[in-house]
Amino acid sequence: MARIFITGSSQGIGAECARQLLDLGHEVVLHARDQSRVDATLQANPTATAVVTGDLASLEDTRALASAANEQGPYDVIIHNAGVGGGTPAAVMTADGLERLFQINVAGPYVLTALMPPAPRMIYLTSGLEADGAWTPEDLQWTSREWNGMQAYSDSKLHDSMLAFELAARHPEAIVSAVDPGWIKTQLGGPDAWDPVELGAETQVWLATSDDPVATTSGQYVKRREVHEPNPIVKDADARAELVAALERATGVALP
CATH number at residue 119: 3.40.50.720
Backbone angles phi, psi at 11, to 5 degrees: -160, 180
Contact indicator for 53, 33 with CB cutoff of 8 Å: yes
Within a domain: 121: yes
Query: Is residue 113 scored above 90 in pLDDT?
Result: yes
Q: Cα(70)–Cα(61) distance, rounded to whole angstroms?
A: 14
Query: What pTM does this model have?
Result: 0.96
Give the structural domain span for 78. 3-251
pLDDT at 190: 58
Instruction: Decide which of 195 and 249 is more confident.
Output: 249
Within a domain: 10: yes
Within a domain: 200: yes
- Between helix 237-251 and helix 149-170 the angle, nearest 10°, is 110
DSSP-derived letter for residue 137 is: G
pLDDT at 73: 97
Q: Cα(200)–Cα(18) distance, rounded to whole angstroms?
A: 12
Within a domain: 62: yes
Within a domain: 182: yes
pLDDT at 152: 98
Could you say which of 75, 110, 124, 157 is catalytic?
A: 157
pLDDT at 182: 79
Within a domain: 256: no
Contact indicator for 49, 69 with CB cutoff of 8 Å: no
Q: Edge-to-edge strands of the sheet including 3-6?
A: 50-53, 27-32, 3-6, 77-80, 121-125, 175-179, 220-223, 226-228
75 given a catalytic annotation: no
Could you say which of 75, 110, 124, 153 is catalytic?
A: 153
Query: Is residue 93 scored above 90 in pLDDT?
Result: yes
157 given a catalytic annotation: yes
Backbone angles phi, psi at 189, to 5 degrees: -70, -30
Go through the chain and tell me how many residues it has. Answer: 256
Within a domain: 124: yes
pLDDT at 196: 80
Within a domain: 234: yes
Tell me: the pLDDT tens digits for 183-197? Answer: 655 666 556 656 788
- If pLDDT is split at 50, 70 and 90, which confidence band does 253 have? very high
Mean local confidence (pLDDT), 68-93? 96
pLDDT at 195: 76
Question: How many domains does the chain divide into?
Answer: 1
CB atoms within 10 A of CB 63: 18
Helices within 90-185 (DSSP H only)? 100-102, 108-115, 149-170
pLDDT at 194: 64
pLDDT at 197: 83
First to last CA, the chain: 28
pLDDT at 189: 55
